[in-house]
Structure formats: C-alpha cells, structure tokens
Structure 1
Amino acid sequence: MTGGLARAGGRLAALLMVGAVCQTGSAGATGTGPDPTVPAREAAVQAASARPDIVTWGAAADRMGDGTPDRGYRLVVHTSAAGTGLRVRVSNAFGDRTLTLDSVYAGIQRVGAALEPGSNRRLTFDGAGTVTVPAGATAWSDPLPGALAAGSNLVVSLHSPDAAGPATGHGMAMQTSYVTQGDHTAEESAANWTGTIGSWWYLDSVSVRPKNRNTGAVAALGDSITDGWASTSDQNRRWPDYLARRLQKADTEVKGVADEGISGNQVLTDGAGQAALNRLDRDVLTQPGVRTVFLFEGINDIKAHTGVTAADLIAGYQEIVRRAHAAGKCVVASTVGPFEGWPEWDRAGDAVRRQVNQYIRTSGEFDGIADFDRILRSPYDQARLLPFLDSGDHLHPNDKGMQAMADSVDLASLDCDH
C-alpha cells in the first residue's frame, strides 16, 4: 500500500483505535471469561436494526485443498462501502467436519503482511474468542466498534489449531495474502508472516453498517472475467473494483460491491465451483444489504461444447431472476462478450452467444441491462475482442477492458427496488 492508500490506512487505524476503547476487559483481550461489554453489545445490535448491515467485500466460496493444523492466514481484502460495526463471515461450506478458529483479528494493511500500528483487533463470535463452525455452515462475527473507510485494504488474520479435511475459500484471489505456522494473528509485525498465497481461506464476506440506513449493495455473479483473471494482481482492477470506485463518487444509495465470480464457473453445470444456480443463495442472496444481483455469466456453458443451447441458458437466467425476485432483489444482466481466437471458439458456440445476447437485450425480463458485448467487441469483427481491451488470450479483458466494462454500467439501474 502506498500513497493515498497508506494515508487512508493511517486515518482508519486511528478510527479503529477509538473503537478499541469500547473493548477493554479480559474478554476483549482474550475472548474468555466474563465480558462486561455484553449488555452494551446487545444494545448496539438492537440499535443497529434501524441501519442494516451491507456487504463491503465478498468472494464466492469454493472447495479448497485440505486444511492444515496450526496454520495462520493473513488475508488481504479490499473494501467497497464505508461504515461502522465491521463483521466477517467465516465459512465451512465445503467442509466434512467442524472447523475451529481459535483466533480471528481484523486490522489495516500497512505494507505486505505488516499492519498499521494499533489497528489490529480481535473479533469475537457470540462474545467468545473462539468459534466452531459445523460442516456446511457459516458464522458471522460480532460487530467490531469503530469506523471502516471505503477502499481500505482490510486484513483478516485467522488461525485454526486443528484444521483438516476439505477447506472452504476462494482459489483465485488476484491478491497476495500471507501464511504462517502457529498463532501470530495478534501481531502487527510481518516478521512471522513469511509465506505468501494467492487465495483466501475460510473467509467469504465482510459487512459494515453504513451511515445512511437506505444504503444498499450489488453482488456480481459471474465467472473468471468477474473474478478478475488477466487484471493486474494486488491492484484491485477487476471490473467490480472499478464499479465500486464509481459508486463511491456517485449520487446513489448503492455503495457496497461483492465480487462473486469464480474462474471457469458455469450457469448450469457444476465444475469450476458449483454452478451459478446452485450457489446463488449462499454467495449472493444471503449477502447482507444486497439490493441488486448483477448477472454476467454464460460463456463457459457455451464454450464447453456440451450441447448447451440458447434455450438452456435462457431457462437458467429465468430461474435466477425468479429466485432473486422472490428474495426481493433486482437483477441487472449483461450480454456475453466475444471470444473468437480462444481455443474453444467455434461458429456454433458463437451463434448461441448471439442468440443469448438478443434475449438479454430484448426480453424485458431483467430490471436493467448492461451491454458488455458492445463495449468489448471489435467494430471490424464482432466475434472478437477489441485488441486495445484484449489481455492477449482473446477472452479475458485487460485492465483497460475491465475499466471500460465498469464505466459502461448505468449506475441508476443498480439502485432499484423489487
């Protein structure tokens, strides 16, 4: 973190230190024993009901490798919306046994694995410093007093004494995080955090309580393009990141953005992660404060050469719309971008893509439309990416393409009620 981000981190560390005054006592330090702040915490939770939490960061959950006992993870995530009362959701969605986390901290990145002095504070779960998450379940932390700024590099450090079996996380983070053996979660120094990883483990959501009770969020349901593949790592240049920066400056009540893309993901079929239809509830509809689902997925169904037709994909989209509407969410959909030049491209698949795009543009079944195909395609060959926006593999946009996509979104379409 350099320049403006470093200054923002310093200001946020000071704000978090103010909140730390509210967490004195043995339970605030260790998570064990009587906690004199419990009545105050319960009162704060009741008062917060008038200002619902919204997601400020999210990543789709997927099955990882086996967990490693006595391993610590220092996970760097980039927030979207500002607010107070930070909470994190830890996930054991793909575990086959209980997951115990005996130490979870949240702080602000200074540089690398080092944290801003005074910013690292322990998170509790129902007042305890340890949480046990059943197989297939998730758990939210208690709210952490203090303010969290928009566009912060938040660092969640967690440790499991006995992790084993399939772990839950997000494989392609496009972000460097850190690992260690032993419990060093309370340390702000980087000295013991010498290992690096490119994935997020056991963490799938961060929420805050915004100042304006009407503030909402958008969740982007997608594949590798939404996940940020081919964007610059550690620079937050996925298209949802660019969208989040636009939203912070705009006169809109939508401020939170959750990136729920999985590389290789399909709408209809499990494979690279559960299919969009099968993960919709967990990854999107249960994210706090989500007002709008942004649907940008289908290219992997088309290029898999499994005989998927436009009618098949349209039926999948209609199911997503039906379930999102039933949950009170709006759905904004984007057209599927061009991919001629990618090894799996063929004319039959491109014909399906064009039929799907025609449906998205004209059906009237969505609450809003974004036309990423029009933004990304070459005017000289509409089956190909514009070279200026092409990462070089003819499927994934580069940083400029990611920004062009985000810049094309009608922000008013995200701020809707259903």
Structure 2
Amino acid sequence: MTPRLLLRAPLVVAAVGAVAIALTVLPQQATSSPGAPTDQVGTWGTAVDTTTLELTDRTVRNVVHTSVGGTNLRVSLSNAFGSGAATFDSVWAGTAGTGATVVAGTNRRVTFSGSTSVTVPPGAEVLSDPLPGEVPARSTLAVSVHAVGDPGTVTGHRLAHQRSWVSAPGDHAQDESSTAYATATTSWAWVEALVVETPEQVDTVVTFGDSITDGDRSTTGANRRWPDVLAQRLLRQPAPKHLGVMNAGISGNRVLTDGSGQSAQARFDRDVLAQPDVSTVVLMEGVNDLRWDLATTPADLIGPYRQLVARAHARGVCVVGGTIPPWEGGSRWAPAKDDVREAVNAWIRGSGELDAVVDFDAAIRDPQRPARMLPAYDSGDHLHPGDAGYAAMAAAVDLDELECHRASAP
C-alpha cells in the first residue's frame, strides 16, 4: 500500500500496533491517470528573505497550506540569504494536526539525491527527491527541518500569517507529537516551495507583490489571503482548469529599492521566473514606493513595470497587471500620491502592454469616495484589506485570463 500525505480533515485514523491507516473521502480530481503525461507545478510557495529566527540545533515545524492536488511531493529548501552553508540532516513532511502535532502515521522522511542530509551553500537552494503518494488539494502540511549546529542567518519568510513551531534543542523532525515544540512563530524557515506532479495541462500561477499579496491583516492561520481565496476559486473549476498558486508577496516590499526584502526588480527572477512550470504572474506592487516618496511620477513605476513585463515575456510567462488599491486615511497618504497612483492604474488598464488586467482598485474602493477603501473591506488601517476585502480581490480575477500561454523569446 502506497503511503499518503493526507488533508487535515475530514479523515479517520485507526492505529493497529505501530501501523496507522489513514482514509480520506475527498475526490482526487487533479491527479493524473496512470501513464498520462505530467508536469511538476508549485502547489505552495513563498518569497524568502532574511529572518530573525535563531535555530541553533533546533527543529522548525513549518505549517503550510497547499493549493492544487498532485502526487510525488518535493520540498524546496532555500539558503538564499544564509550567512554560511547550512546542513539539514533531518527533514520530514506530514499532515499537520492540531497545534504542533502531525497526524499519526503521516510523517515521512524527505531525502535529497538519496541522502537524508544535505548541505546548502549560501545563496543556493535545493529540491528534494519525490515522496511517492498523493497530496490532495488544499492540504495543510507540516514540513519539519532540523539544522546541524548554528546555521547562522536563517532564510525564510518573516510575516507568514500562519503559526509554525520551534522545538527545544535537538532533532525533533520525526516527532508526531507536539511535546518538544513549545515555541510558536509566525515566520517560516528555509522551506520555500512545495512541488507536485499534476496532469500536464496544469500550470503554476505566481502572485507577486507586497503586504497586500502577502495577506497582512488577514486572520492568522485561516488562509484568507487573496491568493488563497483565488486558489479555492480555481479548484471549483473542472480539473483540467486547476492551477497551482504560489504567493510571492513580501510585506513592505518595494519596486524601486531594497528594504523589506530585495526590490521587486531584484527578486523577480528567483521568485517568479525560476518557479516550476510557471505560466502566469499576477503583478501588483507599488504602494510602498508611493508611500515613501520613491515614486513621485507615474514614469517612476511604469518604466520598471515594463522591464518586468519584458523579462517575463522573454521566458514565455504571461503578466496579469493588478491595479494599486486606494489607501486614503492610511499611513503616509497624500492627494498628490493618489494622483500618481491613479495615473499608474490608468496605464495598467489602458496601455495594452500587459496580457490581462485585474482591477483590484475597482474591486475594493469606496464608490462614494474612490481614494479610500470601502469600509466593509478595510482591516482598520486603511491600507490593508481584511478578510472580506481579500475575498473581493480574489473574486475580481478573471480565471480564464490566468490560462494565458506565450512562446518564449528565441
């Protein structure tokens, strides 16, 4: 019997001695039939940066939520911002249970080129061997990683809006209990992407942006960022129209300069173009450049947007441009900045240089006062939507326009 990584619920677990039998009643619509051509796609992903985590001889249990279903799970670990080489000697993946637990019988060891240990140089990343079996759509998984000794600066994602766990000293990656995991964290460490095999017509969509794409002010642990809701919408379609969704938002990120993460221009290749089987990127970024007076004319953002579009098109990747939402009443808002935002949005809507447009501005603005967000969608800081606002953003995406295909430049 092939072991499986199973969705968090509904499932039934029955233990017989040391053997756990796990059953799921969920249909596996997105998996391929035997012998059918398959592709590797991203079912989950995040944009990495430096973190403040201190993980000397610790295990971190990263809790993540997938999008599309598939088989043969692979784990990508990143040391892109490490201060030195990091050796991972124990990596396990299983179905997340309550708190820091892993559902009994689902935790399985991950290997790299057949070895249980891998050393990743600074600036590099590594992709694991496949774990045979099915991963249903919208699985909540626990990816537990132990680093040998002091790994130095930990690469990861600082504001995950998801509760993960750090253990007491030692290798506790194999543990399915939560006993060793007393410390909660809202950062992810080292895990950068999860990849599954799907029917070849299924591609990857990357959502690329700042805190609004990252899901700031959404409910922690509820997976209500707008890319999560978009993934749910995609899964309601017939199986051939399923797409993997990877979230490459970084809170505080900017187009023009480094700051919270590398600039959008600097990280675009790693976070978008290098992702598995990516066909489309949804690009929505620029509000932080406006807020911090880095972009004071429309051309300041339009020029870099054109560069990102050209780089994507050269690799055969389509670009869906997202308009910048309003933020009157929020931090560092001013009428002159809103004028620039409106002009940039007019270019996004009307230039014809993008493959498609999603009008996030129109989706969540107040019709009676278009420079501000509709109060029902406002998280309270007038800059970030709440859960209802993120749902409205996801609803504004034309799903057919995500199935865009371009030929790579010769």
Residue 1 (structure 2) pairs with residue 14 (structure 1):
no
Aligned length: 384
Instruction: State, as a whole percentage, how many aligned pairs show the same letter.
Output: 48
Structure 1 122/49 Cα, relative in aligned 2: closer, same or farther at 3 Å?
Answer: farther
- The amino acid across from 1:157 in the alignment is S
Structure 1 224/195 Cα, relative in aligned 2: closer, same or farther at 3 Å?
Answer: same
What is the distance in 2 between the residues matched to 1:96 and 1:235?
33
User: Could you tell me which residue of structure 1 aligns to residue 222 of structure 2?
Assistant: 235
Residue 42 (structure 2) pairs with residue 55 (structure 1):
yes
Q: Is the 8 A contact 1:102 1:129 kept in 2?
A: yes
- The amino acid across from 1:156 in the alignment is V
What is the distance in 2 between the residues matched to 1:348 and 1:48?
59
Cα displacement string for residues 244-284 of structure 1 (whole angstroms, at most 9, x for unaligned residues)? 00001113534200010000001111101001110011111
What is the distance in 1 between the residues matched to 2:54 and 2:307?
34
Q: Is the 8 A contact 2:8 2:95 kept in 1?
A: no
User: Could you tell me which residue of structure 2 aligns to residue 322 of structure 1?
Assistant: 310
What is the distance in 2 between the residues matched to 1:77 and 1:303?
31
Q: CA shift at 1:363, angstroms?
A: 0.3
User: Could you tell me which residue of structure 1 aligns to residue 300 of structure 2?
Assistant: 312
Aligned pairs for 1:362-377 within 5 A: 362-377=350-365
User: Could you tell me which residue of structure 1 aligns to residue 171 of structure 2?
Assistant: 183
Q: CA shift at 1:230, angstroms?
A: 0.8
Q: Secondary structure at the match of 1:383?
A: strand
Higher mean displacement: 5-14 or 220-229: 5-14
Q: Secondary structure at the match of 1:86?
A: strand
* The one of 383, 398, 403 aligned to 1:410: 398
Residue 223 (structure 2) pairs with residue 223 (structure 1):
no
- The amino acid across from 2:401 in the alignment is S
What is the distance in 1 between the residues matched to 2:64 and 2:338?
36
Q: Secondary structure at the match of 1:314?
A: helix
What is the distance in 2 between the residues matched to 1:148 and 1:9?
16
Q: Is the 8 A contact 2:230 2:394 kept in 1?
A: yes
Aligned pairs for 1:161-176 within 5 A: 161-176=148-163
Q: Is the 8 A contact 1:15 1:147 kept in 2?
A: no
Q: Is the 8 A contact 1:103 1:183 kept in 2?
A: yes
- The amino acid across from 1:183 in the alignment is D
Structure 1 9/98 Cα, relative in aligned 2: closer, same or farther at 3 Å?
Answer: farther
What is the distance in 1 between the residues matched to 2:12 and 2:398?
30
Q: Is the 8 A contact 1:169 1:202 kept in 2?
A: yes
* The one of 101, 104, 123 aligned to 2:110: 123
- The amino acid across from 2:264 in the alignment is A
What is the distance in 2 between the residues matched to 1:93 and 1:242?
29
User: Could you tell me which residue of structure 1 aligns to residue 237 of structure 2?
Assistant: 250
Cα displacement string for residues 215-254 of structure 1 (whole angstroms, at most 9, x for unaligned residues)? 1110000100110101100100000000000001113534
What is the distance in 2 between the residues matched to 1:13 and 1:206?
24
Q: Secondary structure at the match of 2:39?
A: coil
Q: Is the 8 A contact 1:216 1:253 kept in 2?
A: no
User: Can you give the 5+ residue segments of structure 1 that lack an aligned partner in the other structure?
Assistant: 17-46
* The one of 146, 154, 161 aligned to 1:159: 146
Q: Secondary structure at the match of 2:96?
A: strand
User: Can you give the 5+ residue segments of structure 2 that lack an aligned partner in the other structure?
Assistant: 1-6, 15-19, 25-33
TM score, norm. by length of structure 1: 0.89
Q: Is the 8 A contact 1:120 1:186 kept in 2?
A: yes
User: Could you tell me which residue of structure 1 aligns to residue 135 of structure 2?
Assistant: 148
Residue 290 (structure 2) pairs with residue 302 (structure 1):
yes
Structure 1 49/67 Cα, relative in aligned 2: closer, same or farther at 3 Å?
Answer: farther
Q: CA shift at 1:163, angstroms?
A: 2.9
Q: Is the 8 A contact 2:11 2:22 kept in 1?
A: no
Structure 1 57/15 Cα, relative in aligned 2: closer, same or farther at 3 Å?
Answer: farther
Q: Secondary structure at the match of 2:22?
A: helix
Structure 1 265/48 Cα, relative in aligned 2: closer, same or farther at 3 Å?
Answer: farther
- The amino acid across from 2:258 in the alignment is D
More helix per residue: 1 or 2? 1
Q: Secondary structure at the match of 2:227?
A: helix
User: Could you tell me which residue of structure 1 aligns to residue 91 of structure 2?
Assistant: 104
User: Could you tell me which residue of structure 1 aligns to residue 189 of structure 2?
Assistant: 201
Q: Is the 8 A contact 1:69 1:161 kept in 2?
A: yes
Residue 263 (structure 2) pairs with residue 280 (structure 1):
no
